């Protein structure tokens, strides 16, 4: 360990898993997978190392019978067509063709075997992609503006900053043992395209006049996160120039590493430290580490569109366009991803972009190629004008593959969206966002949805059955708030009908100008 691990001083303040991490760094499991477990098979993996698999971006899938899920980091959600083809081929060869887009812009596989992992690591690395630290108690995928570089609504192109911060933290053993997972976002989009408030550290667009000149930079927010105790990130009174983004990230991550709580895992996220210290004390400590910084400037966030872009939009570059496509509940497959890669090369700039709303975009399409691009067969299912509910439904993995899930989510979410699209008509531009999660961990970000559904069980005469708690009215941006729970619990097979009733009630009773999160 290259730094002084101050938390080791008092072992009574450490939970059991901290000792597992101290005994062997999570990153070391990658070499053990390659050299040993991939050769000796699933049964050779002891429990402690199985728990360290997360640092390789790999989890055991449900049921625990030798199959794994894997997340691949896609920095700021932008991949090249070559990377997309590599991802598609891995899905086809090892992942039964399933490819999920996650709410953190990552690509997720299922059905992998430990024997496959070295080849998958190699194939990813060959195109500059990594699953390493996509999970685990470490800095994970850095999310960002998927429109970076082409966005009419960003103050600056953040791609290089994301790469710089990613390159510093990825596989950095000074920061591979944090108290808990650690999520970063960097975006300069004025509509909060990286959902800043739910990250451990988030950079949002801001300006400040310094020495008579207006400087474009960022405000920094710390301590956001969801799960059972959701917190909105708190803004620090600080203006961050682009050249200081990495320095601030190192400072905040150092505070988390050295002062973050390691006693109880469910109270270990940075949000608990920030809540206890408050933003002023947190800033003081940060300044102690990184030196003086200017106070906050003017925030340039003007709203939040939940990273939804259906259809064709002009880019910052004259004559070029991006096309937002719906990926129903975030699930696609190898064939579709390959077809998108071909379309990106033939009609666009060769990139494919993933969003935190689990969707995909093609970019760099010249005006005179838009019509032809829209005729590509894959756009029939991954539609640029999906029906309103299908286009706004997000789901976590659920008990199809996730060991923590209480209920099934993804297929149910798709069916509920279809059901509502057949029955409920809202105004032209009014779309209600519905998020499903299978347990309190909230990977499907239920708290920020217009309608959030959290899986639970309910007792019936026939025994325990899948059910959901419903919460309404979540939003981010200037009026950020988490949704509020309604009383009662709805059986899984009644969710569609209950939501239809709820939406009809809303249509009939809303006041003029009221939108869904005005509840
Ligand atoms: Fe699994 Fe729960 Fe996350 Fe859904 S929210 S993927 S059920 S851990």
CA-403 nearest atom, ligand 1 = 1
Examine residue 63 and say whether the peptide bond preceding it is cis (omega within 30 degrees of 0).
Answer: yes
**Residue carrying structure tokens 């009026």:** 479
Which residues, in sequence order, are bridge partners of residue 463?
460
Asked whether the beta carbons of 475 and 490 are under 8 A apart, the reply is: no
In eight-state DSSP terms, residue 116 is G
Has residue 518 got a pLDDT over 60?
A: no
List the residue whose alpha carbon is closest to atom 2 of ligand 1.
439
CA distances from 429 to 170, 173, 213, 355, 356 (A): 41, 48, 39, 20, 20
3-61 pLDDT tens trace: 778 788 888 899 999 999 999 999 999 999 999 999 999 999 999 999 999 999 999 99
H or E element: which one contains 215?
strand 213-222
CA torsion angle 442 103 272 168 (round to 10): 150
Interval 189-245: pLDDT, tens: 999 999 999 999 999 999 999 999 999 999 999 999 999 999 999 999 999 999 999
403 alpha carbon – ligand 1 mean position (Å): 8
What is the structure's pLDDT at 392? 97
Q: Are 268 and 180 in contact (CB under 8 A)?
A: yes
Alpha-carbon distance of 25 to 138, in angstroms, equals 11
- 148 CB under 6 A from ligand 1? no
pLDDT score recorded for residue 2 = 66
The ipTM value here is 0.99
The pTM is what? 0.97
Look up residue 296 and give its two tokens. 């906050």
**398 Cβ inside 6 Å of ligand 1:** yes
Say whether pLDDT at 519 is over 50. Answer: no
State the SS3 of 35-80. Answer: HHHHHHCHHHCCHHHHHHHHHHCEEECCCCCCCEEEEEECHHHEEE
Give the model's confidence band at 517: pLDDT under 50 very low, under 70 low, under 90 confident, else very high.
low
- The mean per-residue pLDDT over the stretch 80-89 comes to 98
Active site residues per annotation: 71, 180-181, 438, 443-444
pLDDT, tens digit, 9 for 90 and up, residues 326-381: 999 999 999 999 999 999 999 999 999 999 999 999 999 999 999 999 999 999 99
Counting every residue written for the chain, the total comes to 519
135 within ligand 1 shell (Cβ under 6 A): no
Q: How far apart are CA 262 and CA 18, in angstroms?
A: 7
Q: 24 by DSSP, 3-state: which?
A: coil
Q: What average pLDDT does this structure show over 165-183?
A: 98
Q: Model confidence over 314-337: pLDDT tens digits?
A: 999 999 999 999 999 999 999 999
Backbone phi, psi, residue 159, to 5°: -60, -45
């Amino acid at each position: 360990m290259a730094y002084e691990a101050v938390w080791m001083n008092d072992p009574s303040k450490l939970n059991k898993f901290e000792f597992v991490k101290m005994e062997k760094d999570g990153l070391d499991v990658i070499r053990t997978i390659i050299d040993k477990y991939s050769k000796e098979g699933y049964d050779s993996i002891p429990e402690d190392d199985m728990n360290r698999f997360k640092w390789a971006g790999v989890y055991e899938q449900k049921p625990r019978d030798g199959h794994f899920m894997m997340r691949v980091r896609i920095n700021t959600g932008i991949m090249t067509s070559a990377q997309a083809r590599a991802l598609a081929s891995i899905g086809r060869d090892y992942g039964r063709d399933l490819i999920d887009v996650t709410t953190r812009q990552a690509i997720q596989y299922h059905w992998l075997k430990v024997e496959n992992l070295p080849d998958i690591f190699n194939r990813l690395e060959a195109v500059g992609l990594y699953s390493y630290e996509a999970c685990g108690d470490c800095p994970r995928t850095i999310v960002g503006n998927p429109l970076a570089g082409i966005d009419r609504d960003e103050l600056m192109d953040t791609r290089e900053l994301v790469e710089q911060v990613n390159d510093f933290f990825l596989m950095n053993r000074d920061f591979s043992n944090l108290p808990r997972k650690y999520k970063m976002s960097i975006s300069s989009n004025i509509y909060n395209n990286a959902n800043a408030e739910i990250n451990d550290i988030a950079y949002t667009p801001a300006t400040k006049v310094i020495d008579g000149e207006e400087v474009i930079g960022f405000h920094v927010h710390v301590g956001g996160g969801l799960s059972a105790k959701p917190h909105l990130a708190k803004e620090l009174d600080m203006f961050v120039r682009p050249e200081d983004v990495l320095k601030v990230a190192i400072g905040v991550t150092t505070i988390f590493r050295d002062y973050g709580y390691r006693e109880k895992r469910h109270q270990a996220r940075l949000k608990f430290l920030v809540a206890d210290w408050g933003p002023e004390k947190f800033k003081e400590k940060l300044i102690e580490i990184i030196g003086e910084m200017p106070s906050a400037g003017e925030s340039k966030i003007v709203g939040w569109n939940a990273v939804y872009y259906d259809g064709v939009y002009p880019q910052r570059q004259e004559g070029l366009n991006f096309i937002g496509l719906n990926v129903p509940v975030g699930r696609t497959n190898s064939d579709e991803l390959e077809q998108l890669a071909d379309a990106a090369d033939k009609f666009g700039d060769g990139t494919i972009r993933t969003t935190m709303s689990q969707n995909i975009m093609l970019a760099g399409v010249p005006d005179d190629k838009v019509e032809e691009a829209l005729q590509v067969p894959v756009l029939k299912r991954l539609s640029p004008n999906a029906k309103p509910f299908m286009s706004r439904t997000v789901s976590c993995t659920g008990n199809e593959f996730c060991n923590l899930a209480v209920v099934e989510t993804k297929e149910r979410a798709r069916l509920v969206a279809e059901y509502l699209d057949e029955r409920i008509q809202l105004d032209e531009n009014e779309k209600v966002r519905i998020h499903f999660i299978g347990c309190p961990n909230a990977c499907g970000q239920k708290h920020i949805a217009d309608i959030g559904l959290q899986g639970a069980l309910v007792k019936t005469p026939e025994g325990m059955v899948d059910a959901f708690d419903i919460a309404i009215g979540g939003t981010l941006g200037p009026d950020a708030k988490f949704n509020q729970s309604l009383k009662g619990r709805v059986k899984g097979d009644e969710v569609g009908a209950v939501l239809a009733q709820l939406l009809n009630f809303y249509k009939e009773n809303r006041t003029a100008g009221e939108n869904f999160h005005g509840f």
